[in-house]
């Protein structure tokens, strides 16, 4: 297992006894966030140390999403207040990543829960969208296997 000295999440992987673990398998660990957006907020992390989204192997990324789906279903089936679920993955400081070990937030949502995304959603011209699509397609690599 790849671990990074001083990484708080690698420390939790090494010794999960001080965390409220809800899932533990060969490649993924899920535990309660200590600063939750809402009650039931879970973090799904790879056991290996990966920093960003593109660092994670496709198999591990897929496993993280599968575990997140299970967490979402469990939240909806539990006594938690859960009228919906958000997934949030921050990749890089500018994207608000604070712990530089890949992690996927899964948290229950309900009306007036206080969570908001303060973004300026605005339309773009067809030309602008086409130009952005071309820039992505020009460097797009097939998924790693």
Of residues 41, 49, 101, 103, which has the active-site annotation? Answer: 103
Residue 101 lies in a domain: yes
Residue 1 lies in a domain: no
**What pLDDT score was predicted for residue 142?**
76
Which is more confidently placed, 76 or 1? 76
C-alpha–C-alpha distance, residues 29 and 103, integer Å: 10
Residue 35 lies in a domain: yes
Average pLDDT of the chain is 95
Residue 3 lies in a domain: no
- Size of the chain in residues: 145
**What total number of domains does the chain contain?**
1
Q: Please, are residues 74 and 108 in contact by the beta-carbon 8 Å criterion?
A: no
**What pLDDT score was predicted for residue 144?**
66
pLDDT digits (tens, 9 = 90+) for 62-114: 999 999 999 999 999 999 999 999 999 999 999 999 999 999 999 999 999 99
Which ranges constitute the DSSP H helices of 16-125? Answer: 58-77
Residue 33 lies in a domain: yes
**What pLDDT score was predicted for residue 118?**
85
Q: Is 120 a catalytic residue?
A: no
Q: What is the CATH number of the domain that holds 101?
A: 3.30.428.10
Sheet containing 104-109, strands listed edge to edge, beginning at the edge strand earlier in sequence:
21-24, 28-32, 42-46, 104-109, 84-88
What's the pLDDT band for 141 if we cut at 50, 70, 90?
A: confident
**What pLDDT score was predicted for residue 145?**
59
Q: Cα separations (Å) of 99 from 24, 83, 95, 113, 132?
A: 20, 28, 12, 24, 30
32 burial level (CB within 10 Å; 0-12, 13-18, 19+): middle
Residue 145 lies in a domain: no
Per the structure, the complete domain to which residue 18 belongs is given by: 8-110+120-139
What's the pLDDT band for 117 if we cut at 50, 70, 90?
A: confident
Residue 2 lies in a domain: no
Residue 144 lies in a domain: no
What tokens were used for 96? 């608000």
């Amino acid at each position: 297992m790849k671990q990074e000295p001083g990484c708080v999440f690698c420390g939790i992987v090494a010794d999960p006894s001080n965390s409220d673990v809800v899932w533990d398998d060969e490649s993924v660990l899920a535990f309660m966030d200590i600063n939750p957006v809402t009650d039931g907020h879970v973090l799904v992390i790879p056991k290996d140390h990966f920093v960003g989204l593109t660092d994670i192997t496709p198999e591990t990324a897929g496993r993280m999403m599968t575990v997140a789906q299970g967490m979402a279903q469990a939240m909806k089936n539990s006594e938690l207040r859960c009228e919906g679920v958000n997934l949030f993955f921050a990749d890089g400081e500018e994207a608000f990543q604070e712990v530089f070990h890949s992690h996927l937030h899964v948290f229950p949502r309900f009306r007036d829960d206080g969570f908001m995304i303060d973004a300026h959603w605005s339309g773009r011209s067809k030309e602008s969208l086409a130009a952005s699509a071309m820039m992505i397609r020009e460097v797009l690599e097939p998924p790693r296997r």
